[in-house]
Amino acid sequence: MKNVLVFFGGKSCEHDVSVLTGVMTANCLDGEGYNSVPVYVGKNGKWYGGEELKNLGVYDGKRTFREVTLLPSDNFLYEIKKGKLKKREKIDCAINCMHGLNGEDGSLAGALKLASVPLASPDIFSSAVSMDKYFTKIALAGIRAPYVPYVKLNRENYYKNKAFAKKLVARLGSPIIIKPANLGSSIGITVVKTDDKFEEAVELAFRYDDKVVAEKALTDFREINCACYKLGNRYIVSPCEEPVTKHDVLTFDEKYVTPAEKKFPAEIDKKLSDKIRDLTAYVYRKLEFSGIIRIDFLLDGNDVYVNEINSVPGSLAYYLFVENTDEFGKILHDLVENAIKKHEDYENNVFTYDGGALSFDNLKKKKRGGKKFFPPPL
C-alpha cells in the first residue's frame, strides 16, 4: 500500500482552514487504497505526525504530538525522538493542503523536491507566482490573460513618501481595493471609497505583508469561480460557481464560518461560462500548474478578469467537481498516480555533468605575479 503525505496547518493566518482541508483529504485518501500519512504543521512551524491527526477533535491546543521531519534525497518520514531520528514510513507521494505562508507560496514544494517526494499539487514556480498577487499580475500580463489595473506598494517606500504613493494609486480612480500581496481568505482586505480611509486600509494590509497591491475596484461585478486539474494530457475543468456576498467583497466569515450562498452552477449564459472555463484551462496550462487549482474571476458585464489564483483552494475545491468526498477520493487517486508517474519521468533526466572542473590538474595551485591562485570560475 502506498503512503501519501498530507501536509496541513502552518504558521499562517489560514492555519485553521488548512486543518479542515487536510483532515478531509487524509480521510478521503484512506478510502482509495492508500495509507494517508498526516503531517500537521503547527502554528510554531514545527512538523508533527501520527494517526490521531486525522481526527478534528485533537486540535484543541491541549495535546502534544510527535515531531517529524524529512531529509534531502531520502523519501522516508522520520520521527524526532530525544534528539535522534527514527525512520518511519517510506513516502510514495505528497499532497499540499497548507493554505497561505510556507505552503501555498512554493516553500513546501521545494522541501518535498529536495526530499525526492512526488507532489500531487502545484510545484515551486506556479505556487510562488500565484501566491504573490503582484507577481500573479506580471505572469498574467506575460500570457496575455486579462486582469484589473493595479499599483504595487512597498512598505519601506510607502512610509518614506506617502503622498507619492497616494498619487500613484489615485490614477486607478475610485473606489479601490487594498490587499496584502501574499495572503488569502480575504484577510487584510479593504475596499476604499473615500480618500480619508486610504492610509488606514494600507496600514492594515502592511500588518500582514511588506508588499501591498492596490486594485481598481469594479462597482458592478459578479465573482465567478472555476477549478481545474490535469490527468495525462486532459484538462478537467469544473462548472462555474458564483458565491453571493452581502458585502463589497466575499469575507472570511462568508467563506468559512457562515458560508455565503453559492449559485452552482453559476447563472450565466453558456458563452460566458465557456469563456471562463477555457480561460481557466489556458492559465493552468501556460503557468504549468499541477494538482488542483481554483481561479477566482471578476465578471463585469461581458468582460472577464482573472482576480486570484488559488494553488491550494479551500477543501481542494472538491465540491466543484463532485457531490461528496467519497467521489473526491477517486480524483485524489488519479492525481497521486499522475504525480508518481511524472516524478519517475523527471528522475530519468541527467542531473550531473563531469567536465573536469574538479580534476587535480585543474585545481593545482599556480603562480601569477609571484602569488598563488586558483583558476577563477566562469
Residue 257, domain CATH: 3.30.470.20
| Mean residue pLDDT across the chain | 89
Element (H, E) at 337: helix 325-347
Does the structure show a pLDDT above 90 at 105?
yes
Q: Would you say residue 247 lies in a domain? A: yes
The answer to whether residue 372 sits within a structural domain is: no
CA 128 remoteness from chain centre: 7
Task: Note whether residue 358 is domain-resident.
Answer: no
**How many Å apart are CA 292 and CA 23, to the nearest integer?**
17
288-321 confidence digits (pLDDT tens): 999 999 999 999 988 999 999 999 999 999 999 9
Same domain, 117 and 156: no
Q: Which residue has the cell 460566458?
A: 272
Question: Quick one: 9 and 65 in the same domain?
Answer: yes
331, pLDDT greater than 80: yes
Confidence band of 346 (pLDDT split at 50, 70, 90): very high
165 and 236 in a common domain:
no
Q: Which domain holds residue 166?
A: 149-216
Query: Has residue 207 been placed in a domain?
Result: yes
Residues 8 and 104 placed together within one structural domain of the fold:
yes
Q: What is the pLDDT of residue 254?
A: 47
Distance CA 325, CA 317 (A): 11
Question: Are residue 188 and residue 272 in the same domain, yes or no?
Answer: no
pLDDT of residue 378: 59
pTM reported for the whole predicted model: 0.88
For residue 247, the SS3 value is coil
Query: Looking at residue 75, which CATH number applies to its domain?
Result: 3.40.50.20
pLDDT mean over 125-143: 95
**If you search the block for the grid coordinates 497591491, which residue do you land on?**
213
Least confident of 38-42, 192-196, 253-257, 322-326: 253-257
Edge-to-edge strand ranges of the sheet holding 303-310 = 234-237, 222-231, 293-300, 303-310
Q: Cell numbers 478531509 correspond to what residue?
A: 24
* Rounded-to-integer distance, Cα 106 and Cα 142, Å: 20
Q: Percentage of the chain with pLDDT > 90? A: 67
Q: How many Cβ atoms from other residues are within 10 Å of residue 301's Cβ?
A: 10
Identify the band that residue 101 occupies on the pLDDT scale cut at 50, 70 and 90.
confident
Total domains in the fold of the chain = 3
For residues 194 and 285, state if they share a domain.
no
Whether 245 has a pLDDT exceeding 60, the answer reads yes
Reported as a pLDDT band with limits 50, 70 and 90, residue 370 is low
Whether residue 51 has pLDDT greater than 90: yes
Per-residue model confidence (pLDDT) at position 360: 63
The CA-atom distances, in angstroms, between 222 and each of 154, 256, 264 are 29, 19, 14
At residue 326, the pLDDT reads 86
Contact 90, 57 (CB under 8 A): no
What distances in angstroms separate CA 316 from CA 64, 115, 181, 284, 374, one per listed residue? Answer: 27, 24, 22, 15, 53
Is residue 277 very low, low, confident or very high in pLDDT (cuts 50, 70, 90)?
very high
Q: Are residues 229 and 201 in the same domain?
A: no
SS3 assignment, position 135: helix
Q: What is the Cα–Cα distance from 175 to 195, expressed in whole angstroms?
A: 9
Band (pLDDT 50/70/90 cuts) for residue 92 is very high
Whether residue 267 is predicted with pLDDT greater than 60 in this model: the reply is yes
**163 shares a domain with 105:** no
The answer to whether residues 250 and 179 belong to one domain is: no
Are both 256 and 300 inside the same structural domain?
Answer: yes
